[in-house]
Structure formats: structure tokens, C-alpha cells
Structure 1
């Protein structure tokens, strides 16, 4: 039987009713998870950059990649929690992860939230959506592998473009509107950067000074080149894994028109248990992406509990059960198979409803 818009509304109501007691974030969980992730990230990096053993270096590097990816993924949570729900967490995350990786929280705050606006999801105004299932296999592979260059991109932004932008007003406007958002839609323009926000300005300056400190220490010989190359490699691999995860977060079938609520939900993907590996490549709740779109305010540490309740309580023909995939490779394979048989659009092309 075909599903109607009322089905998704009913599903949302059922989901809220079943998970109402899970909506409050646990600040202790956030802090412990972040501190452990940061310790493993930096510890693994230091060991990989100093050990004389190839085997130990590879294992330490892998641990650092996964921990960096997990730590960086908390930028998503920062867009959905208030400061009073996890006091100091936003500042702590920026100090431990955001600024050192030159990817401060300003680059997702005010951006990711637009992805959840019902009238923008999947349209040309959505910063996190492209009709990827209509790409060619080659352009889709390009989308995946370009993520390896992300560390170079944020370094250029922090070390070159940010300081120059304070001297050249048009460049400052360009940096704010086009280079201050983690997006996959290259046409997205930020609408919320006109007013100066002290916290965001401080983050920008901190990334600028950090990048110059790293460059100066490397040139002066205080920081071994091996440290820099190891850090870039770890960061690149983490962003590559995230890009692969991004490819399976949605089905990417929309061509730019507005979508109904049930279409938005069914375009999103869960990769729930029994797939345990998804906790590594889709950490901090990202493996429950469809559930997150259903209940955006549900904190990441309660998504597993919520999924278990919904999976048990909802009937087999519910929309909810149609949003799951078995695993990363299965979902990636399905996407590449679809692009091989569907009509394609030019790279970055889309049929906007606007």
C-alpha cells in the first residue's frame, strides 16, 4: 500500500511518544566521550609520528584516524544542543579538536540546521544535498576522493585567506559566505554571517594563529616534518572515511524539487545493529541518520535505545523499517549500481525548484 504524507506525520508522533524520556542530553557522556576520543587521537598521532616500528606506527595511526573522526563528528552534535545542556562543551571541543584541525564549530553552526528545514531539504538551498545518484560513476568517485584534500583546504583558509580577508573587505565577505561552511552543495551561500559574532571571530583568529604557529615551527625546524606529514595523512584518511559515510547517509535521489516528509525520511539511511562496524565509520550516532532526521533533538547517546524501541513497537509495514541498510559496502555498492543505470546530471548540476 502506498504511503501518504500523513504516514510520516503519524510516524513522527509515534516516535516522539516512544522516546520522550530520551530527549535530554547527558553532559557527562559528552565530556567523557570527547576526552577519550581526543586522548586517543593525539596519543595515536604522537606514537605514529615517533615510533621506529612500522607495525606499531600503522596501528597507532589507524587508532588516531578513527579517534580523530569520532572527535570531529561532535561538531554535528554542537549544532543540536544548547550550551546549558553541556556546559563548556562547545569551548572544550574547539580547544581539543576544532581549532587544532582548523575546522572550528562556526563552520557547521547555522549551516547544518538548514539541512533540517523541511522546505529546504533536498533542494538547491540545502547545504548538504546534491543529486548524487544521478552522477556518473567517475564523478561520484571524484566526489569521494576529493575529501583527501580537505586538510590542505582548511590550511589554506586559515593560514592565507583568513588573515588576508581582514585586509581586503570583499575577500572577507567571500570567506564568510562561501568558505565558512562544511557543505557538499558548492552553490550554498551562508546567510547568517553578516553580523559579527565574537565567538566565531575568535575561532577564526585562533585557527589563523595556530596555522601560522605550526608553519613557523616547521620552517624553524622545531617541529619535525614527519609530524606534519603524519598529521596530514591521518586527517586526510579521516575525512575520506567521513566522505564515504556521507555517500550512504542518503539515497540522493532528489533532483532539487521540494520533498514530502515521508520522502525526506525515506531518502535518509540507518545502518543499525547487528552491523557493529558502523559504530566506527559512522560514529557519534551517525549510523542512525534516518532516525536523526525524524528526531533531530535526540542526543546521539540515546539513538540506539530509541531505535530499539521503534523497531520493536512499530509494525513491519511502517515507514521506519524501510530506512535501513545492512552496511557501508552494501550501501556504497547499491549507490554506484544506481548511478550506472540512471540519467545523469552534469557535475554539481541540479534541477532547482526555485
Structure 2
């Protein structure tokens, strides 16, 4: 962990005092100088660049599907493995744009939501309605880290077995999504009670099992229905093609394996997006920032496992409307301008391995 400043949390050892850190987190006041600098130094970075968005997204999707095609069609095992790896990493990056779709002003990127859903969202069974209207709740000032946050679990304060279960659940994601779209969604049109369950519990990319989604309204409801219908038709056609023999079972299984691998990679990334040390109480903005993670350069692996700006996840919690391609510049400005004792310098970490090990040790200590 790279810490060059002092905060109430740096006096508590992360591996042995998890409960103390959770208590200290609730006492962290807002670093007003940091928050003021964040607002002042990044005012010109809020506009998304359509060329960067479209070229990055389409290139990633093309590479991902090309790798999938080679993995399915090649008769060379080694080539299949390499192509599958390329496909997983590229589709993972392309899928990461669902995060940008949930934040960006759509008038600034006309057609991008449709493009995302047509190219990635529907084919990979994760249309953007499953994230839009969910992710913004994670950023709500009074919801972060509480039982009303769909994207938070106090993992550092839970039992050791929760971590492997957390990862294993993502392995089954494509199977669950196929069943949801091909079976539950059509049936729910005729069974109101089932529809309520589908909407509340199976229509959002959430990790908090206690979260219940509310039905969308207005334009959001219209987008939901269109995307859900498309995902249902695609799922039914896909399964129908397999059962009728038009789609080879081997090709279908390779597709599922790649989609499942994308889901696992994203779940591992989610595992280290936060420190997960809040025990359910509302936090100050600075405390939310300190419970989140930046993995800035010079390391380059984070650009692979935390693409599309996700390596600056803590900074993103301070600047949720800043597009992914501007977060690196925002980080450079803030790092250069903020004083050494600023809380901003306390959310920078070295890499994936250390963060996973820290979280695992926390659960082991907690479960002892």
C-alpha cells in the first residue's frame, strides 16, 4: 500500500484491526481542501470525447469477437487458448463501457447507449438497463456502504468463505442470465407475482442480496422494456439454435466459457474496487473515498484488469461525471497540487495481488 499522508485510518493496522478500522472510518471528517481542489482542478475535464469512446469501444468489441471466432473455429488447441484469452480481455474491456453508459450525458454521446447494447449488452446478456438506475445509487451520499447500496458488501468484516463464494457466483452468471431472459422474463408477462420478483431481484447487476430494485418510470422504463425484449429474443434464439442443432454444442460451450471468464474477471476487479470496511453506517465523502481504491501508474497491469478508467475507482467516487479517458489527467493534477498530508494520497495502492491478500487476511482475522 502506498500511503504518503496521514488519516485517522493509518494509525490502525489493516490486517489485525478490521473492526477498529470500520469504527475509525465512520469518524473521518471531510477533507475540505481536497474536495475543493478536486472541484477546481478538474472543471475542464467533464466532456466525453466521442472519438475516443467509439474507437476504443468498437476496437475492443471487434478484437473480442474475432478472438471468439478463432477460439470456436480453429482446430489448433494452443491457438484456441490464445484466442480465448484475447477474447476474454477484449470483451471485458468492451463490457466495461456499461459503467460509462450509466454516468455519461447521452446528449454528449448520441447513439452510444444503443451502440453498446447492440454490440455488447444484448449479445453478452448484460444490457445497460441492468446497470443504469442501479449504479447511481452506489454513488448516493447517504447510501454508500449501507444496506441500501446495491453494490456494497462489508466483505472485510465477513467470514473467509464469503470470498470464494463471491467469485464462484460469477462463474454461473451467464447460465443465470440465460435462464432469466429466456424463461423468467417471458413467463413474467403472464404471472404478475413473478414479474415483481423478476423486477426487484433479477433485473440489476447488484452484489447486495438484500437490495430490491424499484420499477423504472418514463423513458427509463421504455429503454428497459426494449433492451429486455431484445435480450429475451436473443437468449431464446441462442438456446433454440443449440437444441435444434443449428448451433454446435461445442461452439455454444466455448461462448459460455468466455462470457463466464469475463464475469469472473469483473468479479475479481470488483473485489478490490473498495476496501469493504464499512459496517453499514453512512460515511462522509472523504471516508467513502478512503474506502475505495486507486491503482495508478507506473504499474501497467491495472490497465488490463481495471480498464476504462476503473484503476481510478476512488477518484471516480469524487468525480463520477468525469469520463474515463480524463481520469488519468485528473489524477496527475491532484497528485501534483495537493499537499503531502492530503487524504487524496491515502487511497493509492500498488496492485491486485496485495489488495486481494489484504482482504483475505482481514476475513481470516475476522473469522478467527
Q: Give TM class, smaller chain.
A: over 0.9
Residue 181 of structure 2 is matched in structure 1 by: 158
Question: Which whole-Å CA distance do the structure 1 matches of 2:58 and 2:207 have between them?
Answer: 29
5+ residue gaps, structure 2, are 1-5, 9-26
1:321-332 to 2 correspondence within 5 Å? 321-332=345-356
Moved over 6 A (4+): none
Secondary structure of 1:85's aligned partner: coil
Secondary structure of 2:358's aligned partner: helix
CA offsets 1:35-80 (integer angstroms, 9 cap, x no match): 1011011110000011011111111100100111111111111111
| Mapped contact 1:122–1:130 kept (Cα < 8 A) | yes
Question: Which whole-Å CA distance do the structure 2 matches of 1:15 and 1:273 have between them?
Answer: 19
Residue 96 of structure 2 is matched in structure 1 by: 73
Question: Which whole-Å CA distance do the structure 2 matches of 1:142 and 1:6 have between them?
Answer: 34
Secondary structure of 1:197's aligned partner: helix
Residue 337 of structure 1 is matched in structure 2 by: 361
| Mapped contact 2:160–2:367 kept (Cα < 8 A) | no
Question: Which whole-Å CA distance do the structure 1 matches of 2:367 and 2:279 have between them?
Answer: 11
Residue 272 of structure 1 is matched in structure 2 by: 296
* TM-score, length of structure 1 as denominator length: 0.94
Residue 127 of structure 2 is matched in structure 1 by: 104
Residue 351 of structure 1 is matched in structure 2 by: none
| Mapped contact 2:30–2:287 kept (Cα < 8 A) | no
Shift of 1:5: 6.0
Greater relative contact order (Cα < 8 A, sep 6+):
2
Residue 336 of structure 2 is matched in structure 1 by: 312
Question: Which whole-Å CA distance do the structure 2 matches of 1:255 and 1:101 have between them?
Answer: 34
Residue 3 of structure 2 is matched in structure 1 by: none
Is the alpha carbon distance of 1:53 and 1:94 closer, same or farther for their aligned partners in structure 2, counting shifts above 3 Å?
same
Is the alpha carbon distance of 1:2 and 1:311 closer, same or farther for their aligned partners in structure 2, counting shifts above 3 Å?
closer
Shift of 1:120: 0.5
Secondary structure of 2:82's aligned partner: helix
Secondary structure of 2:161's aligned partner: helix
| Mapped contact 1:119–1:258 kept (Cα < 8 A) | yes
| Mapped contact 1:112–1:127 kept (Cα < 8 A) | yes
| Mapped contact 1:110–1:192 kept (Cα < 8 A) | no
Q: What RMSD, in angstroms, separates the aligned Cα atoms of the two structures?
A: 1.5
Q: Does the alignment pair 1:287 with 2:311?
A: yes
Residue 19 of structure 2 is matched in structure 1 by: none
Which range moved further: 220-229 or 61-70?
220-229
Question: Which whole-Å CA distance do the structure 1 matches of 2:312 and 2:217 have between them?
Answer: 34
Aligned residues: 344
Secondary structure of 1:83's aligned partner: coil
Question: Which whole-Å CA distance do the structure 2 matches of 1:279 and 1:104 have between them?
Answer: 24
Residue 20 of structure 2 is matched in structure 1 by: none
CA offsets 1:258-303 (integer angstroms, 9 cap, x no match): 1122211100000111110001101111110000001111100111
Q: Does the alignment pair 1:128 with 2:151?
A: yes
| Mapped contact 1:177–1:190 kept (Cα < 8 A) | yes
| Mapped contact 1:159–1:212 kept (Cα < 8 A) | yes
5+ residue gaps, structure 1, are 345-354
Residue 117 of structure 1 is matched in structure 2 by: 140
| Mapped contact 2:146–2:152 kept (Cα < 8 A) | yes
Secondary structure of 1:57's aligned partner: helix
Question: Which whole-Å CA distance do the structure 2 matches of 1:209 and 1:238 have between them?
Answer: 22
Question: Which whole-Å CA distance do the structure 2 matches of 1:229 and 1:256 have between them?
Answer: 40
Shift of 1:6: 5.8
| Mapped contact 2:172–2:260 kept (Cα < 8 A) | yes
Is the alpha carbon distance of 1:2 and 1:270 closer, same or farther for their aligned partners in structure 2, counting shifts above 3 Å?
closer
